[in-house]
Amino acid sequence: MARSALRRLMAEYKQLTLNPPEGIIAGPINEENFFEWEAMITGPEGTCFEGGVFSAKLTFPPDYPLAPPKMQFTCEMYHPNIYPDGRVCISILHAPGEDPMGYECSSERWSPVQSVEKILLSVISMLAEPNVESGANVDAAKMWREDRDQFNRIADHLVRKSLGLPDTFSKV
C-alpha cells in the first residue's frame, strides 16, 4: 500500500513542480520521506490575509490516496476553520463517506480523486471565505461574525509577522 502511495505522491510533486498553482509552493520536507510535506501559501488577494506567506505541514498516511492527509499550519494563525494548534478543519480533509454528524455530504469529503493541489487551493478559498457555522476556533468564528474590524487587525498582525515586518498590532 505504501509503495502505491509513494508513487502517487512522487507524481503529484512532479506536477506541482512543473505547473505550480499561483500562491502555492509545496513538496516533501526532504526527498527521503515523501509522506511529510511542507507548503507555503500566500494569503488570497482581496482578503485580510492578502500578502502573507503562511507555512504548513502535510502528513500523508501509508494508504494515501484512499485516506486524506492531515494538514497543520506551522506558523501562528487565527481563523475560524483552523484550530488554535494550527490543524486545518476543512471538508476535503475529512475521511471519505457519510458524515456521522450529518453536517457534510459525502461529495464534500475526501476522495481518492483529490490531490495536494486541490487541498491547498481549498485552503486558500477557506482563508478567503471561512465556514463560521462549523468553527474549529470558536473565538475566531465569533469574532469574524461580530467584530470584523478586530479580526482584520489580528489578520494584519499575522500577515506582517509571516513576512518578518515590524508589529503594529495592539489589542485596542
The kind and range of the H/E element at 38 are: strand 33-42
Mean pLDDT of the chain: 91
C-alpha grid cell, residue 150: 478586530
Structural domains of the chain sorted by starting position, each given as residue range(s) with its CATH number in brackets: 2-163 (3.10.110.10)
Give the confidence band of 101 by pLDDT, cuts at 50, 70, 90. Answer: low
How confident is the model at residue 68, as a pLDDT?
Answer: 96
48 catalytic, yes or no?
no
- CA 113 – CA 18 distance, rounded (Å): 20
Question: Is the whole-model pTM more than 0.85?
Answer: yes
**What is the tens place of the pLDDT at every residue in 121-144?**
999 999 999 998 877 999 999 999
> Looking at residue 1, what is its pLDDT?
66
Residue 170: phi and psi, rounded to 5, are -145, 140
In this predicted structure, the answer to whether residue 46 has a pLDDT above a threshold of 60 is yes
Residue of 48, 75, 89, 105 with catalytic role: 89
